C-alpha cells in the first residue's frame, strides 16, 4: 500500500522522533538512556521517495538516519506497553535528516536542525502491522549504492509497544500520527550529489514484505542562511557525532597522547632536542618561527586549538567580525591542556589577543597561547598566569587588519602547518609542532638524548676533549652505557 504523506489529507498530525534506541548507536554515542527521549518534527518536513533535499549553502554536516516509522492506526490514550503495538496500523521507511550545523540553535528541541523542508522522507510503501513481529523487522540504508546501515529490532532498548504507551501517557495519539523509532549505527554525513536510500522489511515474515527503497537526492542550495537567524556553527564534537566517529570525520584520535609519564619527560627535554629528533624522522618544517615568549623560563605543552584570521575586508568584517565571532567562540571552547594557536599571517600591525580573552583561555585550562600576530593590552596579558608567544605588541583592535574566520581548522602559524590536536611544545628557544602519532616515539628518544648530553656535559666539565665524546663513540660509548645501566 502506497501513501503520499505530503498530501494534506494524509499528513500526520504529529511526527514524534526518538533520540536513541538501537544498542549499536547507543554504544557509538557513549550515552545510555534510562528512558525514551523525544523531539517533534514539522509536518512540512515530510517528503516522498525520489525528492531532492537541499543542504543550505555554507553548511557541511547534513546527516542521514535510516529509521522505521510507526503509523498509529487508532486514537489512543494511556495504553499499556503490552497494548502499544496493537495501536500501530503499519510501518514504513523514514529518513530522519538533521543539519548538525544548527544543533546549537535550539538545543534539544531540534526545530531548525531537524524540521527543514524535505527533512523527513517517508515511504514508498506501507507494510500492514497485522501479523508482523515487531522484534523481527530490519532497516537498511545505502549511500550511492553502498550499504551503510543494517540492523534489526530484536535488541531494541525501547520496544515499539513501550514507545506508544509512553507517549500516550501525556498526549492523545491520533490516527495517522507517526513515531520515528531511532536509527542504528552507520548514520553519517551526505554530500551534495549523494543518493541515500532507506528500506524497511520483515525478512522472516510470510512473503518478506518490504517498503521498497526510499530515495533522497542531496543537492546544494543556492540560498545561504539568513543573517537574522541562527548561523551555522560547527566544532569537532558536532563533526564526530554527525559522521559517526572521529576517524570518519577526519579528526585526530582522542586525547590520550600526552600521558603523565610523557609529560614528566617533556619537562626534562629541551625543544631543541625534540626538534632534532623530528628532523631525524624527516620533519624539518615543524617550528613556529617568529613569535617569542612573554614569560621567560616557562614551558608549554598541550593540544593545538586553532583559530584563523583572514585579511580585513570591510563587508566581511561587518558580517563576521562582530558579536559572537570566531575569536570569541575559540576562546569559549577551550579545553584543559589546549594551546590556542592563531594564524595572523605574521601581521604585526594590530592585536589578535587582549587580556580578557587571554584570561578566558587561562580559566578554561589552556596551557598557552601562540599568535604570529600582535598582542594588545600587553602589560595586562603579561600579568596573567598563562604563557603567550607573539610577534609584537600593538594597541590597535582586531578589525584594523583581520576578520576572525575559522575555529578548529588547519592553519599556518609562523610558517608551519598546525592541525587541531597536534602536540605543541614550547620553551625559551621557541615552539614546535609534533604530529600526535610521533609524540611518544619522539619524546622517548629526546629524553634518552638529554640524558646522554647531560652525561657528556659533565665529562667535558671535568676537562675531557669533545673528540669521540660528543657524541660518545668507542670507549666513551661503553662508559656512557655502563653509567646508564648503573642508574
CA separation for the pair 263, 276 (Å, rounded): 19
Element (H, E) at 148: strand 146-152
Q: What do you get for the CA distance between the two ends of the chain, in Å?
A: 81
385 is in an annotated binding site: no
Select from 240, 140, 129, 239 the least CA-distant residue to 184.
Answer: 140
355 is in an annotated binding site: yes
Place of cell 527543514: 116
Angle, CA of 241, 195 and 108, to the nearest 5°: 30
Report the relative pairing of strands 368-371 and 388-390 from DSSP bridges: parallel
Residues whose CB falls within 8 Å of the CB of residue 93, separated by 6 or more in sequence, listed in order: 66, 67, 68, 69, 122, 123, 124, 139, 198, 199, 200, 211, 212, 213, 214
CA separation for the pair 163, 19 (Å, rounded): 12
Show the cell assigned to 275.
626538534
CA separation for the pair 153, 148 (Å, rounded): 17
Helix (H, G, I), strand (E, B) or coil at 7: coil
428 is in an annotated binding site: no
CA separation for the pair 154, 135 (Å, rounded): 5
338 is in an annotated binding site: no
Binding site for Mg(2+): residue ranges?
377
Binding site for substrate: residue ranges?
354-357, 376
Binding site: residue ranges?
354-357, 376-377
Amino acid at each position: 500500500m502506497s501513501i503520499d504523506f505530503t498530501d494534506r489529507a494524509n499528513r500526520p498530525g504529529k511526527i514524534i522522533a526518538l533520540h536513541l534506541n538501537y544498542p549499536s548507536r547507543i554504544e557509538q554515542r557513549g550515552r545510555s538512556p534510562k528512558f525514551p527521549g523525544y523531539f517533534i518534527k514539522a509536518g512540512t518536513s515530510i517528503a516522498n521517495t525520489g525528492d531532492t533535499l537541499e543542504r543550505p549553502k555554507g553548511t557541511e554536516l547534513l546527516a542521514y538516519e535510516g529509521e522505521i516509522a510507526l503509523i498509529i492506526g487508532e486514537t489512543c490514550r494511556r495504553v499499556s506497553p503490552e497494548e502499544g503495538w496493537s495501536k500501530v496500523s503499519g510501518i514504513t521507511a523514514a529518513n530522519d535528516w538533521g543539519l548538525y550545523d544548527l544543533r546549537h540553535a535550539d538545543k534539544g528541541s531540534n526545530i531548525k536542525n531537524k524540521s527543514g523542508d524535505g527533512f523527513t522522507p517517508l515511504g514508498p510503501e506501507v507494510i500492514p502491522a497485522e501479523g508482523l513481529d515487531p522484534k523481527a523487522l530490519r532497516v537498511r540504508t545505502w549511500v550511492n549504492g553502498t550499504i551503510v546501515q543494517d540492523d534489526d529490532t530484536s535488541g531494541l532498548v525501547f520496544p515499539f509497544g513501550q514507545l506508544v504507551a509512553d507517549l500516550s501517557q501525556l498526549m492523545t495519539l491520533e490516527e495517522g500520527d507517526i513515531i520515528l523509532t531511532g536509527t542504528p549505527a552507520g548514520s553519517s554525513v551526505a554530500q551534495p550529489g549523494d543518493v541515500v536510500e532507506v528500506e524497511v522489511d520483515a525478512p522472516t515474515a510470510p512473503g518478506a514484505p518490504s517498503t521498497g527503497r526510499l530515495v533522497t537526492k542531496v543537492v546544494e542550495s543556492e540560498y545561504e542562511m539568513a543573517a537574522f537567524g541562527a548561523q551555522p556553527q560547527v566544532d569537532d564534537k558536532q563533526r564526530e557525532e554527525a559522521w559517526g566517529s572521529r576517524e570518519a570525520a577526519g579528526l585526530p584520535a582522542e586525547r590520550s597522547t600526552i600521558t603523565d609519564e610523557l609529560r614528566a619527560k617533556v619537562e626534562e627535554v629541551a625543544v631543541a632536542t625534540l626538534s632534532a629528533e623530528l628532523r631525524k624522522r624527516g620533519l624539518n618544517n615543524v617550528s613556529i618561527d617568529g613569535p617569542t615568549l612573554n614569560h621567560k623560563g616557562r614551558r608549554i605543552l598541550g593540544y593545538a586549538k586553532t583559530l584563523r584570521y583572514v585579511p580585513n575586508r570591510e563587508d566581511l568584517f561587518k558580517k563576521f567580525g562582530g558579536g559572537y565571532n570566531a575569536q570569541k567562540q575559540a576562546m569559549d571552547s577551550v579545553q584543559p591542556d589546549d594551546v590556542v594557536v592563531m594564524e595572523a599571517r605574521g601581521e604585526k600591525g594590530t592585536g589578535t589577543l587582549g587580556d580578557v580573552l587571554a584570561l578566558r583561555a587561562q580559566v578554561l585550562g589552556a596551557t598557552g597561547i601562540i599568535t604570529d600576530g600582535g598582542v594588545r593590552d600587553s602589560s595586562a596579558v603579561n600579568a596573567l598566569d598563562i604563557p603567550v608567544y607573539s610577534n609584537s605588541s600593538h594597541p590597535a583592535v582586531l578589525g584594523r587588519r583581520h576578520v576572525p574566520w575559522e575555529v578548529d581548522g588547519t592553519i599556518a602559524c609562523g610558517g608551519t602547518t598546525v592541525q587541531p590536536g597536534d602536540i605543541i611544545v614550547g620553551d625559551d628557544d621557541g615552539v614546535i609542532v609534533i604530529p600526535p602519532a610521533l609524540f611518544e616515539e619522539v619524546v622517548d628518544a629526546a629524553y634518552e638524548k638529554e640524558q646522554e648530553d647531560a652525561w657528556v656535559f659533565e665529562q667535558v666539565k671535568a676537562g675531557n676533549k669533545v673528540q669521540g665524546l660528543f657524541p660518545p663513540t668507542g670507549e666513551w660509548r661503553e662508559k656512557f652505557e655502563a653509567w646508564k645501566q648503573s642508574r
